[in-house]
Structure 1
Amino acid sequence: MEKISDVTMEHLRERAQWVRRETLKIHGIAPETRVASSLSDVEIFVALYYGNILRFKPSNPLWPGRDRLIISKGHGSISLYPILADLGYFDRSELERVCQEGSILGGIPDTMIPGYETINGSLGHGLGVACGMALALRKQGSDAHVFVLVGDGELYEGSVWEAVMFAAHHNLGNLTAIIDNNKICMLDLCSRIIDLQPLEQKFSAFNWHVDSIDGHDIEAVMQSLTGMKQDQGRPKVVIANTVKGKGVLSLENDTLCHIKSLSRAEIAAALEELQ
């Protein structure tokens, strides 16, 4: 992995606030992006990329020794764009052209973007893909780890639970799922659509190692993901309890925030709040 400066919790918190501001600026350029979904997973991305958890090389995105990150909730990963640009995966100027003609950065990420392993516009497939990668890497004798970010609303898909059973059956200790448990899907609270609780017990019943944390507490995220990567005994899941639209008061816990676009005035006000 290419050298990153010494990690401190204060530095990671600053990075998270910076990523939120940059995500809002991107939303101002491309209002069609899902900004609320992209604000709930910021600390997860920051911990993985700035916290020395993921092994990667921006100068060689397909380096065989890299850890894999599958982002199953693709629409909610616009907040990863500024991180990848900052680390040198692509030029920062691309952040000014999101969703514009000729840009590599769209509302749904594509594998043409250096640093993205898969296309995940259709929900429910990321965990299955991650299982296949984890099994293949193990058979190749690789020590690379596979992380997969899944949305909580995505857990309604039956293919997710097929993958959960597959991972347990094959004892994929090199696989860690991260649930962005922001508790709001497209049109309402998850508890009023199909209640996912008790989520911890569901994964435990499938013989997964489960950890439930505050997904906005960067220290808790760091400790959990670090521990999960070191534990190679069985598949792991981190249930990161988050707030959809985190950092923007007009979005936080709004049951329709998933489909809302912010006006330029609202973005300006939100940026002021985040300062």
Structure 2
Amino acid sequence: MSEATATTTDLTRFAAQVRGLVLKMLHGLGYGHFGGSLSIVEALAALYGREVRHDPANPAWDERDYVVLSKGHGAPALYATLALRGFMPVEKLFTLNANGTDLPSHADRNKVEGVEMTTGSMGQGISVAAGIAYGLKADGRSNRVYCIVGDGELNEGQCWEAAQFIARNNLHNLVLLVDDNKRQLDGWTTDISGTANFTGKFAAFGFHAESVPGQDAEAIAAALARAREVTDAPTVLVLDTVKGAGVPYIAELKDNHHVRLDAVGKAAVAEAMAQLQAELEGADR
């Protein structure tokens, strides 16, 4: 493991730092993908703080692990995580969506160091992650692949075609993390596609499947560690999350996929930012 891949001992703190940066980026912009960015903060903290081999000084390091953010609209959280790990200056985060920016609202591998795939068209990331894992396994490489997919994204048939391929080829070097935040672009997932037992469904496809508290970075890190020991099946971690986690105002909005802040919203997000900062400063004392 590269020296640059030093683990983060306090994942709760790391997650709070990521969440704080996401809020600062989107509050300054006045709009953005709040809901689905905030629900994956702890997953990203566990991945980059404890699990994933990476080297910010050499993003193309041959021994790195791969993280594919299939739900590309969660890019603000990924960008914040990458910045805290040293892939870019933190100050660059505040160019999100500005004219001429290298930080578009959906993850872009051609513009952002550390992003492995350009995503945003739902359903495609899991297929690419499967291809990466298949190639690595065929070459006898030890690199691992992690793919974050949304629960609404799993409406796409392509996801299940990929799942069948992953299980059939026993890609145990691949871990899927399902952001089960119960909502998608235009409503509650249960209202649009019906109730889905994702743990049971993936298990039926041949996955080792676990349900994990999705807003608990330590629990996710422990599940990722267990996944390393599974060699007879790929692993899926179904993360029980809240869309807009950490900001009650956002979490309670009916339409919180993409939010344009009014005065009330700006004040609520500013309050959440201040609370996070106070918690971080208190922990430093």
TM over 0.5: yes
User: Structure 1 CA distance, aligned partners of 2:261 and 2:247?
Assistant: 10
Q: Which residue of 1 aligns with 2:98?
A: 100
Matched, 1:239 2:238: yes
Q: Which residue of 2 aligns with 1:82?
A: 80
Q: Deviations over 1:105-147 (max 9, x none)?
A: 1111211200001111101011110111001011111110011
Paired residues for 1:155-194 under 5 Å: 155-194=154-193
Q: Which moved more, 1:130-139 or 1:75-84?
A: 75-84
Matched residue type, 2:87: Y
Alignment equivalent of 1:272, drawn from 271, 274, 285: 274
Q: Which residue of 1 aligns with 2:3?
A: 2
User: Structure 2 CA distance, aligned partners of 1:254 and 1:229?
Assistant: 37
SS at match of 1:69: strand
Q: Which residue of 1 aligns with 2:282?
A: none
User: Structure 1 CA distance, aligned partners of 2:181 and 2:252?
Assistant: 9
Identity of aligned residues (%): 35
Contact 1:152 1:185 in 2 (8 A): yes
SS at match of 2:243: coil
Matched residue type, 1:115: G
Q: Which moved more, 1:153-162 or 1:182-191?
A: 182-191
User: Structure 1 CA distance, aligned partners of 2:78 and 2:166?
Assistant: 26
User: Structure 2 CA distance, aligned partners of 1:150 and 1:71?
Assistant: 7
Q: Which residue of 2 aligns with 1:22?
A: 21
User: Structure 2 CA distance, aligned partners of 1:47 and 1:267?
Assistant: 24
- Which ranges of structure 1 fall in alignment gaps of 5 or more residues? none
User: Structure 1 CA distance, aligned partners of 2:81 and 2:70?
Assistant: 18
Distance 1:60-1:196 versus aligned 2 partners, 3 A rule:
farther
SS at match of 2:73: helix
Contact 2:34 2:250 in 1 (8 A): no
Q: Deviations over 1:194-241 (max 9, x none)?
A: 124222111111110001010111221111011113322211100000
Distance 1:30-1:106 versus aligned 2 partners, 3 A rule:
farther
Aligned residues: 272
Q: Which residue of 1 aligns with 2:129?
A: 130
Structure having the higher helix fraction is 2
Q: Which residue of 2 aligns with 1:115?
A: 114
Per the TM alignment, residue 160 of structure 1 is displaced from its structure 2 partner at its CA by 0.2
SS at match of 2:148: strand
Per the TM alignment, residue 252 of structure 1 is displaced from its structure 2 partner at its CA by 1.4
User: Structure 2 CA distance, aligned partners of 1:205 and 1:126?
Assistant: 21
SS at match of 1:243: coil
- Which ranges of structure 2 fall in alignment gaps of 5 or more residues? 279-285
Matched residue type, 2:273: L
TM-score (norm 1): 0.94
Per the TM alignment, residue 148 of structure 1 is displaced from its structure 2 partner at its CA by 0.2
Contact 2:5 2:55 in 1 (8 A): no
Q: Which moved more, 1:227-236 or 1:205-214?
A: 227-236
Contact 1:134 1:174 in 2 (8 A): yes
Matched residue type, 1:225: L
Q: Deviations over 1:23-44 (max 9, x none)?
A: 0110023334201110000000
Distance 1:140-1:196 versus aligned 2 partners, 3 A rule:
farther
Per the TM alignment, residue 66 of structure 1 is displaced from its structure 2 partner at its CA by 0.6
SS at match of 1:250: helix
User: Structure 2 CA distance, aligned partners of 1:251 and 1:237?
Assistant: 28
